[in-house]
Structure 1
Amino acid sequence: MLVIAVPVVAFSPMFGHLVGYEVPDTGILGALRWLSPILGTVMYVWGGKPFLAGGLDEIKGRSPGMMLLIALAITVAFISSWGSSLGLLDPQLDFWWELALLVVIMLAGHWMEMRSLALTTSALDSLAALLPDEAEKIIDGEAVSVAPSDLVVGDIVLVRPGASVPADGRIIDGSAHVDESMVTGESATVRRGEGDSVVAGTVAADSGLRVEITAIGDDTTLAGIQKLVSDAQSSSSRAQRIADRASAWLFWFALGAAVITAVVWSLIGMPDSAVVRTITVLVIACPHALGLAIPLVVSIATERAARAGVLVKDRLALETMRTVDSVLFDKTGTLTKGQPTVTAIEVVEGAGATRAESEVLGLAAAAEADSEHPLAAAIVTAAAEWGVDVPRASDFSSSPAVGVKAVIAGQTVEVGGPRLLEAHDAPEAKSAEAWRAEGAIILHVLVDGSVVGALRLADEIRPESRDAVDALHAIGAQVVMITGDAEAVAQSVASELGIDRVFAGVHPADKAAKVSELQGEGRRVAMVGDGVNDAPALAQADVGIAIGAGTDVAIGSAGVILASDDPRSVLSIVELSRATYRKMKQNLWWAAGYNLLSVPLAAGVLAPVGFVLPMSVGAILMSISTIVVALNAQLLRRLDLHPQAVVGRVHSTS
C-alpha cells in the first residue's frame, strides 16, 4: 500500500500546491494529473477493503462501530476527490493524498491491533504446543513413531525421559518425576508410577514410562483446559456489557458530531474544511479502543490464570471475586489433607525399658503392615516419612473393632483402640483425654499386654492453610470454616489456624443454607470446596471455587477451578480479580476520555485560535489510542499468580 500511496501523494495537485510545485495541466506530463485518482481508487478499493467489508458486516449485524466509521470517512474522501478531479466540485475538495495517507495509517494501525490480539491468544494457543509432534507407539514390542492424532484409546506408548506424554493415559510400566505445571501451576515435579494417571502435555523428567492411552483429542485434560479458557474469554460480564453499550452510543455520538461539523463548516462558507473536519471526526472517534478495553484484559487474565493452575469458567465469578468479604472453606480436603495422619506419639514409661518414639512407631508399623485399614496405611506411611526402621513381623491377625496382633522379635505386639485396652485391663496414655477432646483418633501400642505408647491420628492440617488464612485476614476478609465433623474437632482446627467463625456438624445438603445465612448478613461469599459434596453450596455462593480438582476440569457448579490443593490459591483469584478490574477501569477511562477530548479538536473548535487537527494526525491518534489500550492490558502478563508469590505480596503491603 505504501508503494502505491507515494505516487498518489506526489502527483496530487493539492499536495503539489502545498509543497510549492505544480503538476502540468497539458501535454504528456498532464496525464500525470490522473495518476492520483487512478491509484487513489486502487487504494480505496484494495486498501480500504477490510474497512468497507467490515462496515457492511456491521450494518448487516445491526451493530455499527469502528469499521463503519472508517468506511464512511474514506468513502467521503473518495467521492469528494473524484468530484473535484472531474470538475464537478471545488478543486479544494481534492483529497487524494489525504485519502492515501489515511488508508496507509489505518491499515498500519489495524495491523498493530491485530498483532496485539494475536499476542494475547498466542500464549493460550501454546498450550497445544505442549503436545509432542510424534508419539512412540508400541507395536509388536517395537516403538514406532506415529502422529498423536493417530492414537486410539488402549494403545501403548513409550514416553522417553524429557519427552511429553502424547495423550491422557495410565502408567503400566516404569516411574518418573513428572512435570505437571501446565495443569497445576506448581513448578515442582511429582513422582508417578504404575497405576497412576498422566495427562497429555506433561513431561517425564528423569525416566522413561510406558503409558496406556485412556483419552484422546477433545477428551483430554489439555483440551478441557483450552475449552474452559476459551469459554471464559467469550462469556459476558457486567463490565463487558457496559463497554458494549458505550461503544454503540459512541458510534452515534461520532456520527452526530460529524454531521454537525459538516453543517457548521459549510454554513460559514468553508466546504473544504467541512469535508476535512468531518472525515477527521469520523476517524478519530472510532470506538475500537473502547471495544478492546475489556476483551483484551479478560483474554490475558484468563490465560495467565490457566498457566498458574487457576481455571476461570465464568467471567462473572472473576469479576465478583474482588468484592468478596467472606471466604467459606470446607474443612476436609481443603484446609486439611482429607486423610488420617500420625500427628503425635506418646511413649508410656514404666512398661519395662522406656522406648523412643521412633521405636513405638516402628512396632506399630510392623504390626499394621499387612492390614488394609486406612489407619494402618497412615501408620506405615508415617514410619516411612520419619525414616523409622520397621522390624519384620509374623503371625499377623486382626480383630474388628479391637485391633491387630503380630509377633515381632519373639514379642506379641498389638495395636488398637479402647476395646484392646479393655481386653488387657490396661490404662490409656496420659495424653489420650486431651487428644480425644480435639477429636483425634487414638491407637495404643501394647507389647506382651503392656502399653508402651499411643499414637494420635487426625486429618492433618495442610501446611499452607495458615498462610492462606493470615493472608485473607490481611486483605480484610472474614474466614469461615464449615464441616460435618463434631464441634470439638472443628474448633481444634479453627483455633490452630485462627479462623473467625465455624459451622460444625453440618450435613452436605445443608451447606448451601449456611452460605445463604452469610449472604443474609450482607456478606459477599466465596465458597471453597471439593466440587462434589459441596456442589449446592458452590452454586449458592457469590463465587464457587472448586479446589484440588487436578485433571477434573468438568466441575459444573464452580465458577473457578483450582487444579492444585493449595488453599493459598484463593488469594491468587482475589489478586487476579482486582488487577483485572484495575486494567478494565484504566482502559475504559482512557478510551472514553480520549474520545471526549479528541472529537471536539477534530471538529475544529480551536480553529479560531489557529489550531487545526490534520486528517492524517487524527488517524494516527486513533491508532495510538487503541495501541495504548492493548499495551496496558499486556502489563497483566507481569502478574505472578503462584500462591507463594501472591501471599508474599499481600504481607508486604499490609
Structure 2
Amino acid sequence: MRRLRSPQNTTPVDGPSFHSTQTSDQTQRQPSWRASLAVRGMTCGSCANTITHNLEQNSGWKVNVNLLANEATVEYHGAKEDVSRVVGAIQDLGYEAVLDQVVRVDETREDELLDQSRTVEIRIDGFRCGFCPARVIGALESCPQGDVEVLTEPTLAQPIVKIRYTPDAPRFTIRHILAAVERADEKFAAHLYKPPSLEERSKQVAARHQRDLLNRLILTAIITIPTFVVGIIYMTSVPEDDPGRIWLMAPWRVGIGRAQFILLALSTPVFFWPAAIFHKRAIKGIAVMWRRSSETPLLKRFYRFGSMDLLISLGTGVAYLSSCAQMITAAVDRPKHVDESSFYFDTVVFLTLFLLLGRLIESYSKSRAGDAVESLAKLRPTTAILVDAGDGAQARDAIVPVGHLEINDRVRIPHGASPPCDGVIAQGETKFDESSLTGESRLIKKFPGDPVYSGTVNKDSPILVRITGVAGHSMLDKIVRIVREGQTNRAPVEKIADRLTAYFVPIITLIAIVTWVVWLALGLTGAAPGHFLEGESSGSWVAFSLRFAISVFVVACPCGLALAAPTAIFVGGGLAAKHGILVKGGGEAFEKASRVDCVVFDKTGTLTTGGEPKVIDSMFELDHSRVFAGQRDTFLAALRVIEESSSHPIAKAIVSFCNSQTDHSSQLLQVSVSNVEELPGKGLKAIATYASNETPDVRRGINMAVGNEALMADLKAVIRADIVTTLQTWKSAAKSIALVAIQTNNLDNDNNPCDSGSSLISKAGSVTNISSTPAPNDWKIAAAFSTADPVRPEAPTVIHALREGGIDVWMLSGDNVTTARAVASQVGIPESNVIAGVLPTEKHERISWLQSTLKVASRHQRHARSESCSRPLWCWVFGRRGKAKSPEQELEEGERGRRNGERQLEEKAGRTNSADGDITHQGASRRATIAMVGDGINDAAALNTADVGVAVGSGSDVAIASAGFVLISDNLGTMVTLLDLSRAVLRRIKFNFAWAIVYNLIAVPVAAGCFYPIVVKGGTAGASHDGGGTGMGMGEETRVRLEPEWAALAMAASSISVVLSSLALRSRWWGVGFRARKVGAQAS
C-alpha cells in the first residue's frame, strides 16, 4: 500500500472560525527552525565573532559558531525557506556555508519511537528513462510483507526515494524492500543512501580549505625562491663589485633598479592570488558592516570591526601598495636614484609565505583536536555476519552491510570482531574488551542475555547476538553524539577571549597608525638619531617608519586567544571519552568540575552495586494474630502480588523471595489485590482479598502496607519489642529494612491483642514504647525483611583519594539512618557527613542546603589545616575563632551544625517550629562547589540542582539527561579521573590564555620599535643592522627590531603553539600530558 505524505496538512476543516483562529495563531507564534551548517574559512576567534555578531543582528536569530569544528547552528523563526537568508548572510561575510539540515526546534519523533518505525533513503542506480521512477513506486506498493510509506518520490535527476516502514524481522526488513526494488528492473541496483552528516560535511569543508591553502602555499613557495635570490642574496650578501649585483642595482627606469621591477613582477601574482584569500574576507567584512541595511550602530563601527584577515590584509596591502606608490611617484618626478629601502615587494612575498604556512599548520593542528572522538566513531564495523535460520536446524550466514540489519536480527560475532550494533547474547559465553567505551582494560565476562555494544571487541569464543538497536542508535553513537554536543558548549572563561578579540583589531590598527606617525615625527623633527638612516635623505623616514607599522599589523595575533579554550575543551572531551566519561556540559561543566570542593554520593546504585539485592533475613509475626494465621503461603502470595506493582529493587528482591518460599501458582488462585497505592519514597498500600483455610468459601479483605520505617511511622504501626533489637542488628550490618503491616477490616477488638511490650515506630524511624492497649484495627507489623546491596569494591579507595585531595565527601540516601551510616563507615565517609531518610522530592533541597551553608575556608586556614594529608584542605568553620580543636571536638561540632542546618531546612519546609542554633562560617571566601553523583530517577532533581551533576552510566535515562557528566563505566574510580582531568583542562586553558596574552604584550612593542634604540652585539636573524635593511642578515651591531617577515613567522608560531599546547594533553610526558590515576578497581 502506497501512502504519499504531503508537505502540508490539507485536511479540510469546516467553519470560518477555524481559519481566522489559525491565522491569528500563525501571527502570534511562528515556527522555530534550527539550521546546521558547515562553514569554511574561519581562522580565528574574530572570524567566529564576526559571523555571530552579524547574524544576531537579525531579530530572533540565535547563533552558535564552533571554530574548531567549522560548524554553525542558527535558530530562527519564520518559514523553513528562510534558511537561504542564513546561508546568504554567512557568504556575504566572505565565508563558504554548506547547509546540512533544517529541523523544527519543537519537532518530536515520539510517534516514530512508539511504533518502532524506521525512515531511510534508498538510492537506485540504473535509471534510464522517465518511467523508471514509476517502476520503483510500483515495486514498493507491491511489497507483500509490510506497509511502506513513500515520503519523497525519486526522479530521473535525483534517483533517491525516502520511505518509512515498520520492520518485523525476519519476516519484513529493509532487505526485502531493496530486493523488491531490484526485481522491478534487472538494471536497478538499490542501496541505502546516507547523506553526509554535519561532521562529515565540516571535514570536507576543512579538507577543501586545506587543499586551497596548500595550492596557494606551493605557488608562493615557488615564487619565494627567485625573490630570495634577488631581494636577499644579491641585495645584502653578494659583494658590491659583483657584476650581477651591479646589473640588478643599477637604475633602469626613472631611477629604479632592475631588481625592484623583477620583485614587482614576482610579488604581483602573490598579492592578487595567494594573498587574495585575506583581502576578500577583509573587504567583505567591512562592506557588510557599512552597508545601508546594517544594524550596527555608527559609533560601534569605529571601535569594533575586522578580523585577523583584516590585519594581514593591511600588512601585505600597505607593503605592496606603498611600493607601487613609490614607483608611480618616481615615474612622475623622475629622480636619478631611488633608495632601495623604500620598496617592500620582497616583504609581500615573504609575509604571504609565512602566513599561509602558519594557516596550513594551524588548520591541520585544529583538525587533530577532535581525533579522539573520530577514533571512537571509526570503531563501528561496516559489515555484519547475518545468521538467517533456514529450513531445518541449519543456519545460513551472509555478510551484509550494517545498515541492512533490523531489530531482532541475529548476527555472529567471531573472536576478535566487534558487534555491528548493540544487542544481547542469544547463544554462547565469551569475554569482551569494553575499554573503548568504559576505559577499563579488564575483560568482562558475558553470558546469554547480557548486553554487548558496538565498538567493543570479542576476546574469546564466537557468539550469536540478537540486535536490539539499529545503526545510528548504539551506545557508541550516543557517546559520539554527546561528546560532539558537549564540545559546542562554551566555557564561561571563553567570554574573556570574546571580549578581547572583539576590540583586538581596532586596537592593533590604532597602535600601527600611532607607530607610523610617532616614528615619522621623530625622524622628521630630528628627535630620532640620524644614524638610524645612515645619512639617507629625510624622505626615507617614511619608509623607515612604515616598516614598523607593517610589523605591528602582522605580528599581532588574536588567534591564540580564541583557540586557547576550545582546543583544550576538544582535547579534554576526547580524553574523557577514552576514560569512559561523557562530557555533556562541555566547557562549562569542565570549568565547574575543576572547582569542586564537595562530592555528594547517592547510596543505592552509586556507592553500592545497585544490582538486584537479595533478602538476607526474614521474620514473621503471623501466629500472633488470627490474620493469616497458619496461612504463611497465602500471606507470601498476597505480598508477592503487591510488590509486583513496584519497580523498586527491594520490591523485586521480596518478589524473588516469595517465589522461592511458596508455590505461588496455586496461591494466586485464592489471593487478589486491589486499590494499590504507591507512596513515593515510602512503599505501597493495598487491599488483599483471600480465603482462609477454615472458611474457604468466604473471602476476607485485609489492608496491607509494605515499605520502610517512615511508612510504618505514618501508620502508627505496632511492633513487638523483641523485634526491635533484631532490626537494629540488621541495620548496623548495613542492611536495608522492609516491613509489612496488616490491618483487619472485619475483626473484633479481641482479635487484635497487644501486650505491654509492644511499641510504636516514630517518625524518625526509632521505636517508642507504649503502655496502653492500642485502639482496635491498628496496624501491626506482620513481617520484616532485610536486604543487602554490597558496597562497590573500589568505593573506599575512591573516597580516600577524594578526601586526600582536599574534597569533602557526603552521602545522601533515602534509607534509614543506621543503615546509611553503616554503609558510610564501610566506605570511609564520616557519620557527620551522612544525610539519611530523605524522600526523593527532598534530595534537591538537601543539595541546596549544602550549597547555601557549606563554605570554602580561606587560604590561610587551608594552609594551617593541611598538616595531615588525610584531612581535607578545606573545612567547615563553626563558632568563633580560637585555639585548634581536636578531631573529636570538630566532629561533634560538625554534627551539631549539620543538625541545626537541617532544622533550618525543615523550618523552611514547614515541618518544625524549632529555631535553635545557626551555622556560622568565619573566614570563608566563597560557597563550596557541590558535585552530585547518582543513578536513579529520584536523583534527577538533585543532579540538576548541584553545580556539577554526574550520572552513573547504568542509571536511568532521566538521571543521565539531568547530568553534566556521564560515567559510562560503573567503576567509581572514573570520578577521580573526571575531577583530575577537569583541573588539567582548566590549567591548560589558563596557560594558553597567559601565553597568548604575554606573546602579544611582548611582540607588539618589539614590532613597534620600542626597543630599537637598544644595540645588541652580534647580529641575529630577525634583528636589523644599523641602517634598516631587511633584518635577514648578520652584522657586528644589530638593533632590537622585528622585521615584517619574521613578524609573520612569529604570528603563525603563536597560534600554532596554542594548538600544540592543547594537543600535548594527550601525551604521556610527566608535567605536560594528562595521566589518569589508578584508583580502586582501575589499579588492578
Q: What is the match of residue 436 of structure 2?
A: 182
- State whether structure 2 residue 464 is matched by structure 1 residue 210: yes
Q: Secondary structure of 1:218's partner?
A: coil
Rounded Cα–Cα distance in structure 2 between residues aligned with 1:615 and 1:134:
55
Task: Name the residue aligned to 1:44.
Answer: 271
TM-score using structure 2 length = 0.49
- Measure, in 2, the Cα distance between the counterparts of 1:88 and 1:551: 80
Point out the structure with the larger helix share: 1
- SS of the aligned residue for 1:144 comes to strand
Structure 2 counterpart SS, 1:69: helix
Q: Distance in 1 between matches of 2:850 and 2:728?
A: 35
**Compared CA separation, residues 631 and 485, structure 1 to 2 (3 A):** same
**Contact 1:221–1:551, Cα closer than 8 Å, also in 2:** no
- Which is worse superposed, 547-556 or 481-490? 547-556
Q: Deviations over 1:48-80 (max 9, x none)?
A: 244334435655588633222112211111212
Amino acid at match of 1:435: W
Q: How does 1:271-290 map to 2 (within 5 A)?
A: 271-290=542-561
One-letter code of the match for 2:589? Answer: A
Of 701, 726, 730, the residue aligned with 1:435 is 730
2:852 matched residue in structure 1: 520
Q: Please state whether the residue corresponding to 1:72 is helix, strand or coil.
A: helix
Tell me if 1:489 matches 2:819. Answer: yes
Picking from 91, 94, 97, the partner of 2:346 is 97
Deviation at 1:562, TM superposition (A): 0.7
Does 1:576 pair with 2:986? no
Match of 1:75 in 2: 317
Do 2:736 and 2:788's aligned partners in 1 also have CA atoms closer than 8 Å?
yes
How far, CA to CA, are the matches of 2:358 and 2:956 in structure 1?
41
Write out per-residue CA displacement over residues 120-177 of structure 1, whole angstroms, 9 at most, x where no aligned residue: 1222211121112432233554333333234344443222210111222233233321
User: Structure 1: how far apart are the matches of 2:415 and 2:986?
Assistant: 43
* Of 602, 620, 626, the match for 1:330: 602
2:268 is paired with a residue whose SS is helix
Kindly report which structure 2 residues correspond to 1:321-360, keeping only aligned pairs within 5 A, or say none: 321-339=593-611
* Matched ranges for 1:301-340 at <5 A: 301-314=572-585, 315-339=587-611
Query: Which residue is equivalent to 1:5?
Result: 224
2: CA distance, partners of 1:80 / 1:605? 23
Q: By how many angstroms is 1:18 displaced?
A: 6.6
8 Å contact from structure 2 (residues 425, 451) kept in 1? yes
Q: Distance in 2 between matches of 1:439 and 1:13?
A: 82
The match for 1:136 is 385
Within 5 Å, which residues of 2 pair with 1:254-653? 254-267=508-521, 268-269=523-524, 270-314=541-585, 315-339=587-611, 375=653, 434-438=729-733, 440=735, 457-500=787-830, 501-521=833-853, 522-549=927-954, 555-609=960-1014, 610-637=1039-1066, 638=1068, 639=1073, 642=1076, 644=1078
Are the structure 2 counterparts of residues 339 and 158 from structure 1 closer, same or farther at C-alpha, using a change threshold of 3 Å?
A: closer
CA contact (8 A) 1:468 1:647 kept: no
List runs of 5+ in structure 2 lacking aligned partners: 1-219, 290-303, 332-337, 525-540, 618-643, 645-650, 672-721, 739-784, 854-926, 1015-1038
User: CA 1:326–1:442 in 2, change beyond 3 Å: closer, same or farther?
Assistant: closer
Supply the distance in 2 between the matched residues of 1:485 and 1:249 (Cα, whole angstroms): 56
Tell me how far 1:342 sits from its aligned partner.
Answer: 7.4
- Deviation of 1:505 (Å): 0.9
- Which residue identity lines up with residue 479 of structure 1 in the other structure? V
- In 2, the alpha carbon distance for the partners of 1:194 and 1:376 equals 25
**Structure 1 residue 200, shift from structure 2 partner:** 1.8
CA RMSD of aligned residues (A): 3.6
Q: Deviations over 1:562-613 (max 9, x none)?
A: 1112223221121111111111111111110111111111011122233222
SS at match of 1:591: helix
What letter is aligned with 1:565? D
In 2: Cα distance, 1:340 partner to 1:142 partner:
38
CA distance in 2 between counterparts of 1:525 and 1:562 reads 17
Secondary structure class of the residue paired with 1:146: strand
* Alpha carbons of structure 1 residues 26 and 598: separation in structure 2 relative to 1, 3 Å: closer
Q: How far 1:261 sits from its partner (Å)?
A: 1.1
Match of 1:262, SS state, is helix
Deviation per CA, 1:534-585: give whole Å up to 9, x if none.
1111001111110134896992210111111222322112111111111111
- Per the TM alignment, residue 490 of structure 1 is displaced from its structure 2 partner at its CA by 0.9
Does 1:119 find its partner at 2:368? Answer: yes
Partner of 2:478: 224
SS in 2 for 1:488: helix
Q: What corresponds to 1:383 in structure 2?
A: none
**Larger relative contact order (Cα-Cα within 8 Å, sequence gap ≥ 6):** 1
Secondary structure of the equivalent of 2:962? Answer: coil
> 1:394 Cα shift?
13
Where does structure 1 lack aligned partners over 5 or more consecutive residues?
A: 346-371, 380-392, 402-426, 444-454, 650-654
Determine the C-alpha separation between the residues in 2 that align with 1:546 and 1:124: 20
Between 542-551 and 457-466, the greater mean CA deviation after superposition: 542-551
User: Cα gap change, 1:550/1:535 in structure 2, threshold over 3 Å: closer, same or farther?
Assistant: closer
Matched letter for residue 157 of structure 1: V
Alpha-carbon distance in 2 for matches of 1:176, 1:49: 61
**Residue aligning to 1:408:** none
212 and 648 in structure 1: CA distance in 2 versus 1, 3 angstrom threshold:
closer
In structure 2, how many angstroms separate the alpha carbons of the residues matched to 1:508 and 1:442? 17
The 5 A counterparts of 1:16-55 are: 16=235, 19=238, 20=240, 21-22=245-246, 23=248, 26=252, 34-55=261-282
2:410–2:464 contact (8 Å) kept in structure 1: yes
Query: Size of the alignment, in residue pairs?
Result: 575
Change (3 A) 1:247 1:537: same
CA drift of 1:276 comes to 1.4
Larger Rg: 2
Q: TM-score, normalised by structure 1?
A: 0.79
**Alpha-carbon deviation of 1:184?**
1.4
Q: Supply the distance in 2 between the matched residues of 1:221 and 1:338 (Cα, whole angstroms).
A: 21
Q: CA deviation at 1:487?
A: 1.1
1:109 matched to 2:358: yes
Q: Contact 1:439–1:486 at 8 Å: present in 2 too?
A: no
Cα 1:640–1:261 shift into 2, 3 Å: closer
- What percentage of residue pairs aligned between the two structures are identical? 34
C-alpha distance in 2 between matches for 1:75 and 1:643: 53
Specify whether residues 305 and 43 from structure 1 end up closer, same or farther in structure 2 by C-alpha distance, changes over 3 A only: same
CA distance in 1, matches of 2:734, 2:453: 38
Structure 1 residues 640, 584: CA separation in 2 closer, same or farther (over 3 Å shift)? Answer: closer
**Change in CA separation of 1:14 and 1:274 when aligned onto 2, cut-off 3 Å:** farther
> In the alignment, what sits opposite 2:10?
none
Quick one: which of 443, 448, 451 aligns to 1:194? 448
Counterpart position of 1:145? 399
Deviation (angstroms), 1:431:
8.4
Map of 1:390 onto structure 2: none
Alpha-carbon contact 1:324-1:526 (below 8 Å) kept: yes
